[in-house]
Amino acid sequence: MFVKEYQFKSDIQLSPHFNVQEFRCKCGDTHDTLISGELIDKLEQLYTALNCSKIIVTSGYRCPTHDKNVGGTSTGQHTKGTAADICCYGQDGKPISSKLVCCKAQDIGFTGIANIDSSYQYTHVDVRTSGKWYGNEVNGNGTVTSDFYSYYSISKTGDFETSSGILGIDVSEYQGNINWSHVKADGVKFAILRAGISHRVDNQFANNYAECKSNGVPVGAYWYSKATTVEEAKQEAQDFLAALNGKTFEYPVYMDLEEQSQFALGKEKCSELVDAFLTVLEQAGYFVGLYCSTYYLTNYITDSIRNRYAVWVAQYNDSCTYSGNYGIWQSGVGTIYGIDGDCDIDRGYIDYPTIIKQAGLNGFTSASDSEKNDKSDNSNTDTLEQILQHVARIDEKLKYQSGIN
């Protein structure tokens, strides 16, 4: 590994996107700077892999004294010129999540990689020659994984890799005001928004929906049910429809079933509640589903209902043991950049956006309907001419009836 020494005043362009001055020690002294050629090569590869608009080097070379002053060992990779702490920016000018940066850095072959901060904006990368270190400094300085894709639940081959799924969250008014641009930057691929509970609309539903749409985060919705009779379930569904009106959803709309008063009714009655609620939504043109935990899905919902509707299963565990089919798994709680406190973490396994849009559900227009509209638009001239002729005939008839010739 070739490491070169550069004088303090050097202004050499090391590569298309990196200059020697970016790597100078921040101790304030005017000593020389050590920089690894391999480090620069790999940073350029990272720039391309992430389609960056820029990469800011927040810390490059450190003299031993400065390294120790900022919490290092005085002999770490920064002191050898083989490391950089960076913040990567996308073409939209926003920071790219460190979770994704770690994954791409792993692909490129950096041997030392770590997220640095709780906002997941800053990443450490290095080209050490002694083994590998894949860390997350939020949780200490130890190695946390051998594969960042698995650690952060990010797909290697596409959004809908069957093994790990894609990262999603579900939120309600309890998360307060959410910075959805930061949420998206943290790698979140979809969000299921609480639309309401019982007969009340969630206080943050309208704002969360608008912000998701503004930031390009695909959405679904759910309604927390407290119904204990079929009629109550139908009324809740009508309330849900009112909240959904005028909006489009790339993911299903769900009935959230988790009240003990509902399960106390038994399997058949619970299943009747679900069927009544979801039928109202389905008949209104929505792709519908049921949210429920593994235990209650298995023991309090009939097979016909579980197989009839989309399932969003909740089980806070390292793996989901539900034996039936499901499209989303709520796997636990976690911290997402842009949200104060914890929120529910989900993994999606089905390409709902494509299915829903192609079928023209959830407020979308199907491809076949669009074709019909196009054909209708092409015949507008003939239709207008026919209308004018019809109006002229009515006008003549009115003149005749009034005695005007």
What is the model's pLDDT at position 58?
96
- The proportion of the chain whose per-residue pLDDT surpasses 70, expressed as a percent, equals 87
- Give the mean model confidence (pLDDT) for residues 313-341: 91
Domain residue ranges in the chain: 3-151, 166-364, 373-401
pLDDT-derived band at 312 (thresholds 50, 70, 90) equals: very high
Q: What is the pLDDT of residue 153?
A: 66
Residue 26 has a pLDDT of 94
- 3-151 against 166-364: fold identical: no
pLDDT the model gives residue 319: 83
Model confidence at 377: pLDDT above 70: no
Average pLDDT of the segment spanning 45-57 = 93
pLDDT at residue 393, rounded to an integer: 42
Q: SS3 for the chain, per residue?
A: CCEEEECCCCCCEEECCEEHHHHCCCCCCCCCEEEEHHHHHHHHHHHHHCCCCEEEEEECCCCHHHHHHCCCCCCCHHHHCCEEEEEEECCCCCECCHHHHHHHHHHHCCCEEEECCCCCCCEEEECCCCCCEEEEHHHCCCECCCCHHHHCCCCCCCCCCCCCCEEEEEECHHHCCCCHHHHHHCCCCEEEEEEEECCEECCCHHHHHHHHHHHCCCEEEEEECCCCCHHHHHHHHHHHHHHHCCCCCCCCEEEECCCHHHHCCCHHHHHHHHHHHHHHHHHCCCCEEEEEEHHHHHHHCCHHHHHHCEEEEECCCCCCCCCCCCCEEEEEEEECCCCCCEEEEEEECCCHHHHHHHHCCCCCCCHHHHHHHHHHHHCHHHHHHHHHHHHHHHHHHHHHHCCCC
pLDDT confidence tier of residue 396, bands split at 50, 70 and 90:
very low
pTM of the model: 0.59
The pLDDT value given to residue 206: 98
Average pLDDT over residues 48-72: 94
Q: What is the pLDDT of residues 88-109, one digit of tens each?
A: 998 878 888 898 899 999 999 9
Q: Does residue 345 register a pLDDT over 70?
A: yes
Q: Which CATH code for domain 3-151?
A: 3.30.1380.10
Burial of residue 44, with CB atoms counted within 10 A of its CB: 0-12 exposed, 13-18 middle, 19 or more buried: middle
pLDDT band, residue 350 (cuts 50/70/90): confident
pLDDT in the model for residue 155: 59
pLDDT tens readout for residues 4-19: 999 999 999 999 999 9
- Average pLDDT over the chain, rounded to an integer: 88
Lowest mean pLDDT among 21-30, 155-164, 194-203: 155-164
166-364 CATH fold = TIM Barrel (3.20.20)
- pLDDT single digits (tens) 255-287: 999 999 999 999 999 999 999 999 999 999 999
pLDDT at 367: 56
Higher-confidence position of 194 and 95: 194
Band (391; pLDDT cuts 50, 70, 90) = very low
Q: How far apart are CA 341 and CA 176, in angstroms?
A: 10
